Amino acid sequence: MLYGVTVVLGFMVVIGLFFAVLMHFLGKGLNTHDAEIIDPTPEVAFDKAHDKKGVDDKQ
């Protein structure tokens, strides 16, 4: 019984370490701290700007 629990816990630790190392290296490409500079948040929400311009009206 104790052997089975030890195997399961050990396997969970190994999987956790694997994914921690994996995300350490792959997560570097997921940094979005400069996303607001490239694509700033608009001052007016899209749906309000969309309605204000009358895009839905047939011209």
Examine residue 19 and state whether it is found in any structural domain, yes or no.
yes
Whole-model pTM over 0.85: no
Examine residue 32 and state whether it is found in any structural domain, yes or no.
yes
In terms of residue numbers, what domain contains 28?
12-52
Examine residue 57 and state whether it is found in any structural domain, yes or no.
no
Examine residue 30 and state whether it is found in any structural domain, yes or no.
yes
Let me know the angle formed at the C-alpha of 33 by 31 and 38, rounded to the nearest 5 degrees: 105
Examine residue 20 and state whether it is found in any structural domain, yes or no.
yes
Examine residue 47 and state whether it is found in any structural domain, yes or no.
yes
Cβ contact 49:42 at 8 Å: yes
pLDDT tens for the 59 residues of the chain, in order:
889 999 999 999 999 999 999 998 887 777 666 655 666 677 777 666 555 555 555 54
**What is the C-alpha separation between 46 and 27, in angstroms, rounded?**
30
